[in-house]
Structure 1
Amino acid sequence: MVHPNVDAHPVLRLNGLSYSIGERRLLNGVTLDLASGEAVAVTGPSGSGKSTLLSLILGLITPNRDQVWVAGSDMSALRGKRLARHRAQHLSMVFQFGELLPELTPVENVALAGLLAGEPGRSAYERAAGLLREVGVTGTTATTGELSGGERQRTALARALMNRPSLILADEPTGSLDTAARSSVADLLFSLPQRWGCGLLVVTHDPSIAARAHRHFSLREGLLHDEQVAA
């Protein structure tokens, strides 16, 4: 993928990020700048620290001072309601299995993200319907639990866009899909940074998915190693 003309100011900055569990060091000085309009993929074996990396970016684990910046804010300086507000305004997460409420319809799942952020009901449902049209999930009254895997992940992408995030994090977003659905969902996912002006960080075991990113790193021995130089 050709690298875009991205903004100079990163939506994500990892500044020598380190993290240990007991005597085991999972991250050992990880450095990365990710800008709006850019997609970055991280691969690595199980246990290499990929999930820990996402948790630190989300603020679920408190990083050391000045090591994780999201949308201009030091995540270590945010606590309680301030952290929750910053996360809701700037971060969205796409999981391997969607993590949608199966008893709700797609539009209800997507609108819920807006409702929880305080958006009025009518506006939330109208925007949710529009986002679902954009990702190709239309005309269904089925519950999300009745959808195909590909439809569920497209619904999850629409939900991730609902609050206009600065940064989307995706954890194995195509890992549960068949070949055809994997390709179509990946096409949609990697189109989002330039279409929506956000950053995208994808963690995946699949090298064919990682190859779609502008930059691809492998996480080994606590460091990010460049696996791809964009054309």
Structure 2
Amino acid sequence: MSELDYEIGGRRLLSAMDLSVGAGESVAVMGPSGSGKSTLLSLVLGLIRPLSGQILVAGKDITALRGSKLNRWRQQHIGMVFQFGELLPELTPVENVALPALLAKGNRSQAFKRAEELLLSLGVPVGTTTTGDLSGGERQRTAVARALMSHPSLLLADEPTGALDEQARDQVADVLFNVPRQNGCGLLVVTHDALVAERADRVLQLSHGKLVDAVSQGMV
């Protein structure tokens, strides 16, 4: 993204912001509540639009896309991991992970096969256990698997370990920050947790609408 401006209610949240996340790279963004971290992810997802600037995902400026074209580009190129997983507890992990492909009218057998492969690679059981019976860490790893179903160019994560205990946090963080190297995608994580952020290739601080290098500023 380049020269990105965004405001809401007369308050400027982002100002002439520049950020790039390359293939195979991980970037963590930290900042206090209300600084605009989740807004940044919503902009990258195309859920809201900036006042000005470009947001390039897989070479396409998503600010120029509308309706079905935007939805299709998002489905094909962006994966999202939420703080609480946003999974359906009554479904099995495999069903949860395969669901996006099924909703996109993908091949059922191929969708379930890829879902199983992803879950096994992330250490999640693939039996008949419902997702609601998994541990918190297993549910979040299931959410990571679901986000990877479409071979995304960019993986986004919004406080992905915020609801986990210390052991589960470390397990999920290990999985998440291995994804760029193993899958060749970019990873953009927003988090309050410095122990999670420091695993990234770059750590940035969002303050007063600007991103600064958190390491050089002594913030992590």
TM-score, length of structure 2 as denominator length:
0.95
Query: How far apart are the structure 2 equivalents of 1:115 and 1:22?
Result: 39
Alignment of 1:107-186 (within 5 A): 107-186=94-173
Alignment size in residue pairs: 216
Alignment of 1:38-117 (within 5 A): 38-64=25-51, 66-117=53-104
Query: How far apart are the structure 2 equivalents of 1:39 and 1:117?
Result: 28
Report if the CA contact (8 A) 2:180-2:186 is conserved: yes
Cα deviation, 1:75-122, whole Å, max 9, x if unaligned, reads: 111000000000000001000110001110000000112112221111
Match of 1:63, SS state, is coil
Percent of aligned pairs with the same residue? 62
Counterpart position of 2:196:
209
Report if the CA contact (8 A) 2:4-2:52 is conserved: no
Tell me the amino acid that sits aligned with residue 40 of structure 1. V
Q: Deviation of residue 216 (structure 1)?
A: 0.3
Query: How far apart are the structure 2 equivalents of 1:63 and 1:49?
Result: 12
Cα deviation, 1:178-229, whole Å, max 9, x if unaligned, reads: 1111001100100000100000000000011000000000100000010136
Structure 1, unmatched stretches of 5+, are 1-13
Counterpart position of 2:185:
198
Is 1:16 the counterpart of 2:7 in the alignment? no
Query: How far apart are the structure 2 equivalents of 1:51 and 1:24?
Result: 15
Which contiguous aligned blocks of 4+ residues in structure 1 show a shift greater than 6 angstroms?
none
Q: Deviation of residue 65 (structure 1)?
A: 5.3
TM-score, length of structure 1 as denominator length:
0.91
Q: Deviation of residue 66 (structure 1)?
A: 4.3
Match of 2:21, SS state, is strand
Counterpart position of 1:29:
16
Report if the CA contact (8 A) 1:65-1:76 is conserved: no
Match of 1:19, SS state, is strand
